[in-house]
Amino acid sequence: MSTQNALSTILVEKINNDTLVLPTLPAIALKVRKAADDPDINLNAMADVIGQDPSLGARMIKIANSAYMGRSVKVTSIGQAVTRIGLRQIKNISTALAMEQLFVSKNDIVTRYLQKEWVNTVDIVANSMAVLQLYIARTKKREMSLDTMTLAALVHNIGVLPVLTEAERHPEVFANPSFLDVAIDKLSGRVGASIMKEWGFGETFVNVSQHWKDLSFIPENVDYIDFVRVGAALSGAMDNQKDAVLNLAMQRNVVDDISVLHSDEFTELSNSAKQIFM
């Protein structure tokens, strides 16, 4: 049995037996999510929790001052940032900002794969956010939120992490990138769904992680997965399905005209969203 087939067999077996090592949320994200679920939490207490991580605090201030929030008056403290963002949104935004910590490895080759994956993911996130903003502006429908969109797009391909971690034990497979691409394509959806369940995320995130590439999975109503698919198609992550994705988006009224995805407005929204993670 080749190394590639052996690794694939190992991965499938571990997935089926629930023995694949799944990543854990960064500690600060866990703290913020736990605090946000406390019905007695207030803005000052939340600011104290976020302030325990200087990097997260700084990025919260940055996001509060970004086009993402659509405000012109600048905030200068974590407390002001939390007040502007609000407790409802802070849970998903803080998790999203902490996600980058997962895309690291002590193995140089794996690190390169993870860095490439992070760059691609941020691109998809930015495009997904821009499409949702245009959708809300056009339809005036506000059932979906930008913070949930951000996190859903960030975790859409989270299943790649355990696949790469397992592959790290077999360095020779990295000499064949095409094999890794196939392994990730076949297995990352199932693994991603397992991670979302392990983290206690809701059905929305499970579905995005498991089904974003499966166009036969179509929610009854417009959902975050629709925007992730368009974002991925525009980023080159679904080249073999790009036309099908965009046609489906038109049918479901996610976009009313494909030309809007090439407009200056879309580009500006996408670039602004990308700045959140830089």
pLDDT number for residue 168: 79
Residue 78 lies in a domain: no
Residue 59 forms part of a structural domain:
no
pLDDT in tens, the chain (278 residues): 455 566 677 777 887 887 878 888 889 999 999 998 898 888 899 999 999 998 888 888 988 887 666 666 788 899 988 888 888 788 888 888 888 888 888 888 888 889 999 999 999 999 999 999 999 999 998 889 988 999 999 999 999 998 888 877 777 777 677 777 877 888 889 889 999 998 999 999 999 999 999 999 999 999 999 999 999 999 998 878 999 999 999 999 999 999 999 999 999 999 988 888 87
pLDDT at 154: 94
Residue 100 burial (C-beta neighbours within 10 Å; 0-12, 13-18, 19+): middle
Domain extent for 201:
3-23+98-277
Identify the sign of the CA torsion 265, 267, 270, 272. negative
Q: Of 225, 243, 219, 220, whose CA–CA distance to 131 is shortest?
A: 225
What is the pLDDT at residue 203?
A: 95
Please report whether residue 209 resides in a domain. Answer: yes
Q: How many CB atoms lie within 10 A of CB 2?
A: 10
Q: What pLDDT score was predicted for residue 252?
A: 96
Domain for residue 43, yes or no?
no
> Which among 226, 260, 256 is positioned nearest to 244, based on CA atoms?
226
- For residue 139, tell me if it sits in a domain: yes
Q: How far apart are CA 28 and CA 204, in angstroms?
A: 23
Distances (CA, A) of 251 to 195, 226, 236, 245: 31, 11, 21, 10
Residue 2 in contact with residue 154, Cβ under 8 Å?
no
Q: Does residue 55 lie within any of the structural domains?
A: no
pLDDT score, position 85: 86
Answer yes or no: is 80 within a domain: no
Task: Name the helix (H) or strand (E) containing 99.
Answer: none
CATH number of the domain enclosing 15: 1.10.3210.10
Domain membership flag for residue 83: no
Which class for 70: exposed (0-12), middle (13-18), buried (19 or more C-beta within 10 A)? Answer: exposed
pLDDT of residue 172: 73
What pTM was computed for the model? 0.88
How many domains does the chain divide into? 1
